[in-house]
Amino acid sequence: EAGVVQSPRYKIIEKKQPVAFWCNPISGHNTLYWYLQNLGQGPELLIRYENEEAVDDSQLPKDRFSAERLKGVDSTLKIQPAELGDSAVYLCASSTDRDRNEQFFGPGTRLTVL
């Protein structure tokens, strides 16, 4: 069974530029998460989808971040414009159901904003 796929793995951009990350979850996993992880910290939730519905986006900075999960499968997270403080690892995870919620993570995208 294929795991969670993310692309790109690395991205270097200048501040004020846009950037987008893509995630394809494990087949059959209805719940998809986007996390941000800074060095030395645990993952912090940005947004959670159940199928195509964003059920928790309370921590998503909506002035510059947006996300979509059309058709309830793969998802895209966008930042526009990027700021220096957005440099971090962006992780995508998926799970089969909310109750057990065993999450499986993709390899992440390391973003560097110069």
Largest CA distance in the chain: 40
Does residue 98 bind other proteins (CB under 8 A)? yes
Closer to other proteins by Cβ: residue 16 or 62: 62
Q: How far apart are CA 103 and CA 114, in angstroms?
A: 32
Q: Which residues contact 1 (CB under 8 A, 6 or more apart)?
A: 26, 27
Distance of closest approach, residue 42 Cβ to other proteins, in angstroms: 3
Interface with other proteins (CB under 8 A), residue total 21
Q: How far apart are CA 6 and CA 64, in angstroms?
A: 21
Footprint on residues 16-45 left by other proteins (CB under 8 A) = 33, 40-45
Distance of closest approach, residue 113 Cβ to other proteins, in angstroms: 19
Q: How far apart are CA 102 and CA 94, in angstroms?
A: 8
- Phi-psi category of residue 72: left, alpha or beta, with phi > 0 → left and psi -120 to 50 → alpha: left
Piece in contact with other proteins (CB under 8 A), picked from 11-19, 20-28, 80-88, 98-106: 98-106
Does residue 111 bind other proteins (CB under 8 A)? no
Does residue 1 bind other proteins (CB under 8 A)? no
- Rule CB under 8 A: which residues touch other proteins? 33, 40-45, 56, 89, 91, 98-108
